[in-house]
């Protein structure tokens, strides 16, 4: 089974407040115009290919749009997706719900009621998730799932990893609560780790144009992206080694 999953974060909103405001976050905030152009090209691409993106589950040849963090621009994003008949996966870090720049509870419920999938992006979005103890990881997933399910009155079965740092305990603790685990590695073929399905995603940043997204859909540069990712992970590991445990 093959699929493509695009990993987005936020749009640049008029007030400039949506999502996290730390330095690196700005490189993941697309202008609304660029985002609309990308979605339009996705729509045209899948209209001509055997792809589809209107399903609420992962299936062969599916194109998935995913959005991390739960910034307040998510409802604008949902409007744009829906205008092309698409649904999205919205992953929420629950300790930020209702804070300045983030969705509140009724807005999260609205996303769900409009047919989108709401998942967990941990509770507190730890900067280095892989450095947490097993119990703290469990706590992050469980708390977030409980909060989302109390808002939605619906079972939340998908999560995405904050920070993108793949880690065995991160996956196995998520497997205690969820069925689908979205990571930031550029895989296009899902695989099981224990009882949880691991789904790779290709990250889209503000400098990426619709042409880049089309290349992703056509699987161009996937090997190059994989190599870049491996190098990034090595650098991150080296950097974290000198920082000590997060918790
Ligand atoms: Zn995040």
Is residue 51 domain-resident?
Answer: yes
> CA 208 from chain center: how many Å?
17
**Centre of ligand 1 from the C-alpha of residue 163, in Å:** 6
CA distance 88 to 68: 11
CB-count exposure of residue 17 (10 Å: 0-12, 13-18, 19+): middle
Q: What's the pLDDT score for residue 232?
A: 72
DSSP characters for 67-131?
A: EEE-BTTHHHHHHHHHHTT--EEEEE-GGGTTSTTB--HHHHHHHHHTT-EEEE--SS--TTGGG
Q: What is the CA(52)–ligand 1 centre distance, in A?
A: 26
DSSP symbol at 207:
T
Report which DSSP code applies to 198: E
Give the pLDDT confidence score for residue 244 in this predicted structure. 42
Cβ–Cβ under 8 Å, residues 110 and 75: yes
- How remote is the CA of residue 93 from the centroid of ligand 1, in Å? 8
Per residue in 136-185, pLDDT tens? 999 999 999 999 999 999 999 999 999 878 889 999 999 999 999 999 99
Distance separating alpha carbons of residues 93 and 141, to the nearest angstrom: 10
Residue 246 lies in a domain: no
Q: Is residue 227 part of a domain?
A: yes
CB of 181 closer than 8 Å to CB of 199? yes
State the distance from the centre of ligand 1 to the C-alpha of 139, rounded, in angstroms. Answer: 17
Q: What is the DSSP letter of 52?
A: B
Ligand 1 center to residue 227 CA distance, Å? 22
Q: How many CB atoms lie within 10 A of CB 224?
A: 10
Q: Report helix, strand or coil for 159.
A: strand
Angle of the 105-113 helix axis to the 74-83 helix axis, nearest 10: 10
Q: Which of 2, 37, 85, 17 is nearest to 204 (CA)?
A: 37
Q: How many domains does the chain have?
A: 1
Confidence grade of residue 187 (pLDDT, cut at 50, 70, 90): confident
- Does the residue 53 lie in any domain? yes
The CATH number of the domain where 45 resides is what?
Answer: 3.20.20.370
In 3-state terms, what secondary structure has residue 229? Answer: helix
Say what the pLDDT of residue 30 is. 93
C-alpha torsion sign, points 96, 101, 102, 103:
positive
pLDDT at residue 142, rounded to an integer? 98
Give the sign of the dihedral formed by CA 187, CA 88, CA 106, CA 12. Answer: positive
Q: Calculate how far, in angstroms, residue 47's C-alpha sits from the geometric centre of ligand 1.
A: 31
Within-domain flag for 200: yes
Give the pLDDT mean for 80-100.
95
* Boundaries of domain holding 116: 3-241
Whether pLDDT at 247 is above 50:
no
**Rounded to the nearest whole angstrom, what is the distance from the C-alpha of residue 48 to the centroid of ligand 1?**
33
Structural domain includes residue 105: yes
Q: How far apart are CA 25 and CA 36, in angstroms?
A: 20
């Amino acid at each position: 089974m093959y699929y493509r999953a695009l990993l987005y974060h936020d749009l640049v909103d008029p007030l400039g407040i949506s999502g996290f405001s730390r330095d690196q976050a700005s490189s993941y905030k697309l202008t609304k115009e660029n985002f609309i152009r990308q979605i339009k090209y996705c729509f045209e691409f899948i209209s001509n290919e055997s792809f589809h993106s209107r399903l609420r589950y992962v299936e062969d040849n599916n194109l998935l749009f995913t959005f991390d963090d739960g910034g307040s621009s998510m409802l604008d994003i949902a409007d744009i997706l829906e205008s092309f008949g698409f649904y999205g996966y919205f992953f929420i870090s629950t300790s930020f719900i209702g804070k300045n720049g983030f969705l509140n509870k009724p807005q999260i419920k609205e996303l769900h009621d409009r047919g989108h999938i709401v998942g967990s992006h941990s509770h507190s979005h730890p900067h280095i998730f892989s450095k947490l103890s097993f119990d703290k990881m469990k706590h992050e997933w469980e708390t977030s799932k409980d909060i989302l399910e109390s808002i939605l009155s619906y079972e939340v079965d998908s999560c995405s990893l904050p920070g993108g740092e793949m880690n065995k305990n991160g996956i196995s603790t998520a497997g205690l609560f969820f069925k689908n685990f979205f990571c930031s590695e550029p895989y296009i073929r899902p695989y099981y780790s224990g009882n949880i399905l691991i789904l790779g995603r290709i990250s889209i940043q503000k400098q990426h144009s619709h042409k880049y997204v089309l290349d992703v859909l056509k699987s161009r540069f996937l090997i190059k992206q994989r190599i870049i990712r491996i190098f990034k992970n090595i650098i991150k590991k080296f950097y974290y080694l000198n920082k000590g445990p997060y918790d």
